[in-house]
Amino acid sequence: MLTIDSLVKTYDAERARRRARTGQAGRVHAVDGVSFEVTEGELFTLLGPSGCGKTTTLRAVAGLERPDSGRISLAGRVLFDGAAKVNVPANRRDLGMVFQSYAIWPHLTVFKNVSFPLDVLPRGRRPRRHQIEERVGKVLELTELGAYAQRPATKLSGGQQQRLALARALVTQPVLMLLDEPLSNLDAKLRESMRFELKRLQRELGLTAIYVTHDQSEALVMSSRIAVMNEGRIVQVGKPREVYTNPSTRFVAEFVGTSNFVRATVVSTQGGQVTVDTVEGRLSIHGALSAPPAGSEVLVSIRPECVDISVDKPDAAANQWAGVVANRAFMGDSVDHVVSVGKLEIRTRANPTVSIPQGTGVHLSIDPAKIMIVPLD
């Protein structure tokens, strides 16, 4: 439904100099040839560290930022085309957007905030007074703000302001919703519940949305698909599970979840069966998607939760390491152990009943199906 084609946005040198002491001179690419497609009913997430260009991309879709070149079209309508010099202004794009700061207008009531998008429609398309009231009422009910309609918007709590911003974006029933880190200003508990709330609303209303976040767990929970961005480019696009279990680069593996990285040399490849050599011995890998030729250098990525830790030597034969617990961290819902295995340090994650004191000798075993091969970059 939304198609974005090789979008480029640069900032000139003057502003770049002010922006950061990154040492880069000349024009800085905020977005460097980004292309993707969002299909109807999808919650598409742009995920990446700050400064990766995800917000700039979103703002380009919104029309708040003018890209240098590229093409944006939504449901057959061209919103921006650098070559054809088309640039539909933000207020004519008929999109809904939730800002990171919510951007609740402090001089208006809750009701007036939500009715604003309807109030400013051109006269021909503007609904009648009672219709506006009805539609605003409906959206406020949907976001559980019905009781607060006549309050000044500033008298709402953080979570309520967040829902108000959402209600305002929903009231015109836009074909596409843009969400710019909408949950980052909430406390941890509220954020968790709002994740499911947002997801529920999106499913129930069949919304198509672009969601920008730097929080990988948020992205994994909510998205239909994730585009991981770095330095103005999209590094990988895929379903959350794909991105998590099969990161295409070290950056993705590192950014989405935590991972142990071990350098290795491929010894043999047989279908999905790969055997590699590491500093601390041989590892076998099952079901690898890419099959690099024997002798090539690769990076092996092992998620902490895929490493089993035990004091007693387990029976399983494959992929065993012996080591000493170097550090232990209680995380609440899990316990992380950092284990020294020869020259390597391997982080493991276990359920909180497992807790092994520092200095204890332990055995690690890794399921061959859960080891990922990442190209060395």
Partner 1 sequence: MAATNVPAHTGRAGPVAAVAGRLRRLGTGQGLLVTGAVVIVGYLAVVPLVYLLHDTFTGNSGFSLHAFARAYGGTSQSGTMMLNSLRFAFGSAALALVVGTCLAYVQVRTDAPFKGLFFAASLVPLIIPAILYAAAWIFLGDPTIGLVNTLFFKPLFGVSPVNVFSIWGMTWVQGLHLAPVAFLLMAAAFRAMDPSLEESAAMSGAARRTILRRITVPLLRPALISAALLMFVQSLESFEVPGLLGLQNGIYVFTSRIYFVLRQFPIDYGSAGAYAVGLLAIAAVGVLLSGWLSRNARNFQTVTGKAFRPRPVELGRARPWVGAVVIGYFVLTVVLPVAVLVYASLLKFYQAPSVNALRTLSLDNYRKVLHTPLAFTALKNSLILGLGSATVVMLITSVVSWLVVRTRVPGRRLIDTLAFLPIVIPGLVLGLALSFVYLRVSLPIYGTLLILLISYCTRYLPYGMRYASAAMGQMSRELEESAQVCGASWFQTFRRVLVPLASGGILAGWVYILVVSFRELSSTILLYSPGKEVLSVLIWEQFENGQFTVLAALGVCMVAILVTLVFIAYRLGARVGLQAGSTS
Under the rule (CB under 8 A), what is the footprint of partner 1?
A: 15, 62-66, 89-97, 99-107, 116-117, 120-121, 152-154, 158, 161, 165, 168-169, 172, 178, 184-185
In angstroms, give the least distance from the CB of 275 to partner 1: 48
Of 155 and 200, the one with the shorter C-beta distance to partner 1 is 155
In angstroms, give the least distance from the CB of 60 to partner 1: 12
Of 102 and 251, the one with the shorter C-beta distance to partner 1 is 102
**Element of type H or E holding 320:** strand 320-330
**Cβ-based neighbours of 293, under 8 Å, separated by 6 or more:** 266, 269
In angstroms, give the least distance from the CB of 120 to partner 1: 4
| Interatomic CA distance for residues 307 and 364, integer angstroms | 6
Of 29 and 349, the one with the shorter C-beta distance to partner 1 is 29
Q: Are 227 and 243 in contact (CB under 8 A)?
A: no
In angstroms, give the least distance from the CB of 3 to partner 1: 20
Q: Using alpha carbons only, what angle is made at residue 111 by residues 107 and 113, rounded to the nearest 5 degrees? A: 50
Of 81 and 254, the one with the shorter C-beta distance to partner 1 is 81
Of 113 and 246, the one with the shorter C-beta distance to partner 1 is 113
With CA atoms as reference, report the closest residue to 232 among 33, 88, 11, 6.
Answer: 33
H helices of 223-295, in order, are: 240-245, 250-255
In angstroms, give the least distance from the CB of 112 to partner 1: 10
Burial of 94: CB neighbours in 10 Å, binned 0-12, 13-18, 19+: middle
Q: Are 307 and 348 in contact (CB under 8 A)?
A: yes
